[in-house]
């Protein structure tokens, strides 16, 4: 709810706005009012709303909620409609949308890198599911997310070029389903020891069981991207070494190298901050 919602709805109905349009308007304005009342430095009244208040809300949508520009623009449109209505009907004296400029989102996206070196600690963390541990070992060994469902344990164990090979060999003795190493079953299994049916099933498990447990995004594509940028940003590797190690074409490697310089902000994974949150 927000002030004068009923009045605005009646006005929109008179303008023949559809029910869905009015519902979207109410949803957007209710979100603004909830944000405003929770964060206002002064009394949360209509008269105290100014252009800075609206900019702060739109910045919040784009920077904190990570909404697309097109989505945030819809919120801005409803805010303009709302405050225009209030002003022309003499409900407010100031006109906060007069100086409102649509915020520009920071174009650089953040990518967390460097989690591979923390794998020994991650493997010992009882709060993290075995599936996520196995996924991280597989991604950290260079496998593409689409390969994970059919990835065999023997394949991973025999991949001596993996930066995690020694850790993988040692870690198998810590897994409850250690028999898979002897029987050469699939490397990533669910809690019943069964193969995952699809890439999406693994993603869904991680989202349900492990979301928020590590200080980084856990989507399979995001983990693969993180793995790639970890090596691309390391100047000690030649282009040929990177293409071979990451299984990238020359064109794809050029894309990632350009992104490192222009489009992404690389942030080192902080396992200590994760541990502090847990405690």
pLDDT score for 276: 46
Shared domain check, 193 and 72? no
Shared domain check, 268 and 168? yes
Shared domain check, 173 and 128? yes
Tell me how far apart the alpha carbons of residues 202 and 188 are, in angstroms, rounded to a whole number: 9
Q: If you average pLDDT over residues 253-270, what whole number do you get?
A: 86
pLDDT score for 113: 93
Shared domain check, 143 and 62? no
Q: How far is CA 156 from CA 55, 56, 140, 181, 189, in A?
A: 50, 49, 11, 10, 14
Classify residue 180: in a domain, yes or no: yes
pLDDT score for 183: 57
**Secondary structure string (H, E, C) spanning 163-186:** CCHHHHHHHHHHCCCCHHHHHCCE
Shared domain check, 136 and 83? no
* Residue span of the structural domain in which 182 resides: 111-278
pLDDT at 275 over 50: no
pLDDT, one tens digit per residue, over 53-69 is: 898 898 888 877 878 88
Shared domain check, 267 and 201? yes
CATH number at residue 58: 1.10.150.130
* Helix, strand, coil tally for the chain in percent (to 5): 60, 5, 35
Element counts in the chain: helices (H) and strands (E): 14, 2
pLDDT score for 203: 86
pLDDT score for 102: 63
Contact 99, 25 (CB under 8 A): no
- Domain final position from 77, 99, 121: 99
pLDDT, one tens digit per residue, over 80-125 is: 999 999 999 999 988 888 777 665 555 677 889 999 999 989 988 9
Tell me how far apart the alpha carbons of residues 37 and 50 are, in angstroms, rounded to a whole number: 14
Q: How many domains does the chain have?
A: 2
Helix extents (H) in 128-164: 130-139, 153-157
Shared domain check, 120 and 83? no
Classify residue 106: in a domain, yes or no: no
- Domain final position from 99, 122, 148: 99
Classify residue 104: in a domain, yes or no: no
Classify residue 186: in a domain, yes or no: yes
pLDDT, one tens digit per residue, over 66-91 is: 788 888 889 999 999 999 999 999 99
| pLDDT tier for residue 193 given thresholds of 50, 70 and 90 | confident
Residues 6+ apart with CB under 8 A from 177: 130, 189, 193
Shared domain check, 182 and 146? yes
């Amino acid at each position: 709810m927000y002030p004068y919602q009923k009045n605005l709805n009646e006005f929109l109905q008179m303008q023949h706005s559809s029910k869905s349009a009015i519902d979207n308007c109410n949803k957007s304005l209710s979100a603004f009012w909830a944000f405003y009342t929770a964060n206002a430095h002064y009394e949360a009244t209509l008269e105290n709303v100014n252009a800075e208040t609206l900019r702060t809300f739109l910045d919040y949508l784009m920077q904190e909620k990570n909404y697309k520009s097109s989505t945030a623009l819809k919120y801005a449109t409803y805010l303009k409609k709302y405050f225009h209505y209030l002003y022309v009907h003499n409900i407010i004296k100031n006109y906060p949308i007069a100086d409102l400029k649509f915020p520009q989102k920071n174009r650089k996206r953040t990518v967390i890198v460097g989690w591979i070196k923390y794998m020994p600690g991650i493997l010992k963390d009882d709060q993290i599911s075995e599936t996520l541990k196995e996924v991280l070992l597989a991604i950290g060994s260079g496998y593409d997310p689409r390969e994970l469902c059919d990835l065999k344990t023997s394949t991973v164990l025999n991949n001596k070029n993996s930066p995690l090979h020694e850790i993988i060999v040692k870690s198998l003795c810590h897994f409850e389903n250690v028999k898979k190493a002897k029987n050469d079953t699939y490397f990533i299994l669910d809690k019943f020891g069964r193969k995952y049916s699809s890439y999406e099933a693994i993603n869904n498990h991680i989202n349900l069981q492990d979301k928020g447990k590590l200080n980084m995004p856990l989507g399979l594509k995001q983990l693969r991207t993180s793995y790639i940028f970890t090596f691309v940003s390391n100047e000690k590797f030649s282009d040929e070494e990177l293409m071979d190690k990451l299984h990238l074409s020359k064109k794809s490697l050029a894309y990632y190298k350009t992104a490192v310089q222009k489009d992404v902000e690389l942030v080192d994974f902080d396992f200590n901050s994760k541990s502090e949150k847990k405690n």
